Amino acid sequence: MPRQLLKLVLLGSLCALFAPAWSHPPTASASHWVAAWGAAVDSPGPHLSDQTVRQVVRISAGGSAVRIRLSNLFGAGPVTIGPARIALRAQGSSTVAGSDHAVSFGGKRTVTVPKGESVLSDPMAMDVKPLQELTVSLYIPATATPGPSTLHNAGLATTYLTETGDATAATSFPGTEVHGSRFFLSDVEVAGPDERHAVVAFGDSITDGVGARSDTYERWPDHFAERLRADPGLAKVAVVNSGIGGNRVLNDGFGPSAQARFDRDALDKPGVRWIVLLEGINDIGGSGQPGTPADNVSAEQIIEGMKQLIARAHAKGVKIYGATLTPFGGAGWPYHSSRNEKKREAVNAWIRDGGAFDGVADFDKAIRDPAHPDRMLPTYDSGDHLHPNGAGFDAMAKAVDLDWFRR
């Protein structure tokens, strides 16, 4: 063998021997991550100290690794959380024996989340399936000056709490206290070897699921995730619910406005490729008896706000589909009025015919009463004439064109 070639062979052998870790086959952290569950944080909550919170989530996509994001957006100062653990849910607050996994943050069992910030955990090797229920257990240690927790208010799922102590590893949860909100947990992400993408359902309480029964998975994004799972060609598409009750396109209401939270709750989600936008009814309702002059918004202002969201999505290469605003006749004056109904009709006409969205999901048509177009069909009404029930949410989910996600 020529001397020069021999040197090259020896050099190659040495390089292989001392190759850095990134040259090895990809690990879970180098795989394709996708958002599989979400709860957009919207408000401060009760102070927790020396307590464990166990939350049940149903993920929309499966994978071989999991990680979680914790938020302290509404804290008054830094908050320390940990230990934290993830397990498969058995029933109620109990977990499947042997399925428990410890969560770490930068290799540590606890993490301090700065005020107004969030943290992403280390990846955990864990095989999970689409539509599988997981429990996320968080211990919040005792502090001298506990501050407010960060919540997603309308969790529509039971959260379990201990009065004291770390019960994160308990298979049978000892806590007897329950709550209806999400605490600190804003995201569950999964990874696998193949690239996958997510649909973000972005909206207000109608997307959040107010009107559905708790612990039933009958919100429209839940029904939509089940439709995707039933289609072999779309079974790997994930769905994230980024609805907030009371949310508005233009102004802060209950939670930050759509403009303020669009990046965090939609565009920054790993794997996001599509957004379904259902917002505006609270802008209209809030104009019925405006608290400030800024709340007295017009249909044209709402449309301009939607155009800004569309432009931001398109700048990131994300498709955005407009959902027509659902009927709210009977919801009560001054929230609903003939003046506000005209605004809803004007916004819906633009969503349908303006050509700005990449497609239209006609939720209005799906659940309205043909005899009274300003009202929902009684069979779809949760009873408050604003929020659909589970059957109404199912009808809405069926109005989303699955072909959008095949392209």
Per the CB < 8 A criterion, the answer to whether 70 and 186 are in contact is: yes
Per-residue pLDDT of the chain (407 residues; tens, 9 = 90+): 444 433 333 333 333 333 332 223 334 444 899 999 999 999 999 999 999 999 999 999 999 999 999 999 999 999 999 999 999 999 999 999 999 999 999 999 999 999 999 999 999 999 999 999 999 999 999 985 678 999 999 999 999 999 999 999 999 999 999 999 999 999 999 998 888 999 999 999 999 999 999 999 999 999 999 999 999 999 999 999 999 999 999 999 888 999 999 999 999 999 999 999 999 999 999 999 998 999 999 999 999 999 999 999 999 999 999 999 999 999 999 999 999 999 999 999 999 999 999 999 999 999 999 999 999 999 999 999 999 999 999 999 999 999 999 97
Same domain for 111 and 225?
no
Q: Is residue 27 part of a domain?
A: no
Pick the last residue of a domain from 155, 186, 217.
186
Residue 139 exposure: Cα atoms within 13 Å on the Cβ side: 20
Q: Are residues 166 and 202 in the same domain?
A: no
C-alpha span between 268 and 189 (Å, rounded): 12
Residue 117 and residue 51 share a domain: yes
Total domains in the fold of the chain = 2
User: Are both 163 and 218 inside the same structural domain?
Assistant: no
Q: Are 357 and 322 in contact (CB under 8 A)?
A: yes
- Residue 367 domain-assigned (yes or no): yes
Backbone angles phi, psi at 52, to 5 degrees: -110, 135
- Whether 236 and 93 map to the same domain: the answer is no
Residues 251 and 309 in one domain: yes
Contact 135, 86 (CB under 8 A): yes
Is 18 a member of any domain? Answer: no
User: What CATH number should be reported for the domain holding residue 96?
Assistant: 2.60.120
Q: 280 with 150, same domain?
A: no
The Cα 372–Cα 391 span in angstroms is 19
Query: Does 220 lie in the same domain as 331?
Result: yes
The continuous run of DSSP H or E covering 258 comes out as helix 258-262
Whether residue 53 is contained in a domain is answered as yes
Are 209 and 358 members of one domain?
yes
Q: Are residues 206 and 166 in the same domain?
A: no
Q: Are residues 128 and 230 in the same domain?
A: no
In a domain, 7, yes or no: no
Q: What is the dihedral of CA 142, 146, 151, 157, to 10 degrees?
A: 40
Strands 43-47 and 111-113, bridge-based pairing = unpaired
Whole-number pLDDT of residue 218: 97
**Claim to verify: residue 234 and residue 164 sit in the same structural domain:** no
Where a domain ends, among 186, 212, 247?
A: 186
| Domain, as residue range, for 157 | 42-186
